[in-house]
Copies of this chain bind each other. A is one copy, B any other.
Amino acid sequence: MAELEGNCIVGQSGGPTAVINASLAGVVEEALNHECIEEIYGSLNGVVGILNEDFIDLASESQQTIRGLRHTPGAALGTCRFQFKKHADYERALQVFQTHNIRYFFYIGDNESMATADKLNALAQESGYELRVIGIPKTVDNDIAATDHCPGYGSVIKHVATVVREMACDNDSIGQGDYVSILEVMGRNAGWIAAGAALAKRRDHPHDPPHLIYLPEVPFSSERFLDDVKRALSRERFCMIVASEGLVDSDGNYVALGSTSTDAFGHVQLGGTGEFLRSLVESRLGVSARSCKLGISQRSAIHCASKADVEEAYLVGQAAVLAAVEKGESGKMVTLLRGESDFYKAETGLVNLADVSEKTKAIPADWINDDGVSMNYPFVKYAQPLIAGEVNVPFENGLPNFVRVRGGKIDKLLQAYEL
């Protein structure tokens, strides 16, 4: 494989995870190992930064900062929800790459970002511009079909399961068979995060919370829900429920939309799934209930992240660079694989970006028990290794100490582009 000399650029896209910056660190540190890579640029706010030539010089960051990325949540380069809308966007991106002699493009993102990267790769090939494009998966939602699991997922479920264990101690000290506790977690289209809460349940401890798990994969019925809660309360001191934000009824409508309200100004307001369930319990069963909504905090909780996840996030970043530089790959996304042996070890693979379906990967139906509200052993076996180990986030004055990339801006060489 002939070495391709030039600059590389890396960007981050979509909702951040606790470990998305570990992938960034993996890219930067691996890129430094290869002489054919001259400059290491970071694109600010994903592909928006490419269109605007908003680049920073990542090689000039201190080693301390790059190391600190392994335990700094959020997307250090800034992220975007923006997707290229028109062909001119792709042409502009290619022009920017050519102008800055960028030969390697690493894009950390989810399904949609991979589609963008794929089209850009195709255009470069058509134009005869030698460019290597590798996608790096990330999403707390774990819904990218092409990979065994996604960096970001292990950390969010470790955090959620920890919160379940902790809240269970609190709930247990209050409940007398008359208390319902609801934890709303992320998951608009798939219930992977809510399912991960099942790890809080110890083996052979059937009374351990969570007692009920509600997933978008299982159509929601209020009557069945109320029956589930009553049954749980008859057995337990309290009923702990973990619910995906995106629960839908059998017609596919979000259930929380059933509880819309208008505020003082006549505007519609959504209370969220957790509040909807809480209201249902209190009004229909006359039982005291409380809900929590972890929201954004769950995907940034590096202080309770999975060491395995941080390491794998770093690994996929490294693997992206190795694939592009050493194997001359392009138009691929790095995947995580696991062997068939009982001893879990993550390895990386590659798939064509074009084969990264934009379709959401749902939880396999046969990992959900027949009751529809609990997970079975194959799921636990799948998820358990992903939460292994703890991350040592440095604390200073009682609080975690995060880094910021502050690298010098790269001069813009082109005229401004109308987004």
Residues of A within 8 A of B (CB): 12, 16, 18, 45, 72-79, 158, 161-163, 165-174, 176, 181, 183, 199-200, 222, 258-265, 267, 269-272, 275-276, 279-280, 282-284, 290-297, 299-304, 306, 384, 387-390, 395, 397-400, 402
Contacts and interface: CB of A to CB of B under 8 A. Distances in A.
A183 B291 CA distance: 14
B292 A170 contact: no
Contacts of A296: 167, 170-171, 181, 290, 292
Contacts of A259: 261, 263-264, 269
B73 A162 contact: no
A162 B400 contact: yes
B263 A166 contact: no
B398 A199 contact: yes
B300 A16 contact: no
8 contacts: A18-B166, A74-B168, A74-B171, A76-B169, A78-B173, A170-B296, A261-B271, A303-B304
A388 B265 CA distance: 44
Interface-centre pick from A75, A173, A260 (highest chain B CB count, 10 A) = A173
The 3 tightest CB contacts between A and B, nearest first, are A261-B261, A74-B169, A292-B295
Contact of A280 (B72, B166, B263, B302): B263
Nearest to A255: B264
Contacts of A181: 296
Contacts of A389: 398
B173 A74 contact: yes
A337 to B, nearest CB: 21
A300 B200 contact: no
Interface-centre pick from A45, A291, A399, A402 (highest chain B CB count, 10 A) = A399
Given A12-B173, A166-B400, A261-B259, A295 B291 contact: yes
Given A12-B173, A397-B384, A398-B306, A272 B269 contact: no
A284 B171 CA distance: 38
Contacts of A270: 275
Contacts of A275: 269-272, 275
A261 B183 CA distance: 21
A307 B161 CA distance: 23
A190 to B, nearest CB: 20
B292 A263 contact: no
B398 A388 contact: yes
Given A387-B399, A395-B390, A399-B199, A292 B293 contact: yes
